[in-house]
Amino acid sequence: MEMSFESLKETIFAQSRTLRPGMQDKHETSAWDKNRLDVESALALKNIFFYLSLIFRYPTEQIYSEIAGHLEAFTDFFTDYGGAVPELPPIDDLQPEYISLFVNNQGFVPAAPYASCYQGDGLLMSDNFYRLRQIIMESGFMLDASVHELEDHLAVLLEFCSSLLNTLVEKNNSSDKNLMACIYALLEISYRYIEPLVDDFTDKINSYASYDFYKVTGKALKSLFHDADPIYVQLLGFRSNSTNELQG
């Protein structure tokens, strides 16, 4: 029996807060017809996730030049979701801006980029953290040894979503049983880790930022995840109870 998008979401939210037991096998592969995947859209969203992941990383010279080099390609996206095309300040200004917003400010960090900080007591590695780590590992990924970050850093989450979409596209023609697991992971990351963060996170950026860059990109992030339902419905080709959204 095919699940509607809404009931799929419900399933995800009903998952326990802690670890999930051997997740792959439990997913009903029949819940989704892989032929419905909108490959082009999936690739587009994959790239947007990856680009946003780059934006919410510390802008080293390499990252900065990637951000700068591809900004034009995402003009439409930022205009639609961020209300403007972000103006990229010089790297010497962007680096301190990044640190003062997301790493360390005078005694604190204004907009902590960690999903955990927007749940429970506001500290790192809160309840859902290990579940996240498990999802990432069971999807065949882990943090590179050179990366001293936590898995629930926004940039990691976005990159992970991007990779999941990539897997969906690449394996779409195979008879891989794990595609459903990929979708579960994608939706869970989006709805349980990123979406709960975006409002507070962007509010804090807005009150502490010196430049518009992270305000605009933050707004785009926020709008994108507020708009996640219709995007996923369309992209994955789900049946939806909400006709309004189905036509989106």
- Return the residues of window 171-230 that contact other proteins according to CB under 8 A: 223, 227, 230
- Alpha carbons 20 and 7: distance in angstroms, whole number: 18
46 interacts with other proteins by CB under 8 A: yes
DSSP state at residue 114: B
Which residue among 2, 123, 199, 203 contacts other proteins (CB under 8 A)? 123
Residue whose CB is less far from other proteins, 80 or 87:
80
For the CB of residue 3, give the shortest distance to other proteins in the complex, in Å.
22
**Residues numbered 144-163 forming contacts with other proteins, rule: CB under 8 A:** 144, 147-150, 155-156, 159-160, 163
Which residue among 185, 198, 235, 236 contacts other proteins (CB under 8 A)? 235
Are 245 and 236 a contacting pair, CB within 8 Å? no
107 interacts with other proteins by CB under 8 A: yes
Cα–Cα distance list, 42 to 28, 123, 170, 231 (Å): 22, 33, 11, 10
- Alpha carbons 244 and 230: distance in angstroms, whole number: 9
246 interacts with other proteins by CB under 8 A: no
Are 181 and 203 a contacting pair, CB within 8 Å? no
Size of the site for other proteins (CB under 8 A): 83
68 interacts with other proteins by CB under 8 A: no
Which residue among 5, 32, 64, 77 contacts other proteins (CB under 8 A)? 77
Amino acid sitting at position 181: A
Which residue among 32, 64, 114, 201 contacts other proteins (CB under 8 A)? 114
Is residue 153 classed as helix, strand or coil in its secondary structure?
strand
Which residue among 5, 32, 64, 74 contacts other proteins (CB under 8 A)? 74
Residue whose CB is less far from other proteins, 28 or 93:
93
- Alpha carbons 76 and 244: distance in angstroms, whole number: 24
Are 129 and 3 a contacting pair, CB within 8 Å? no
Which residue among 2, 10, 13, 19 contacts other proteins (CB under 8 A)? 19
Is residue 122 classed as helix, strand or coil in its secondary structure?
coil
For the CB of residue 70, give the shortest distance to other proteins in the complex, in Å.
5
Look at residues 59, 65, 70 and name the one whose alpha carbon lies nearest to residue 98. 59
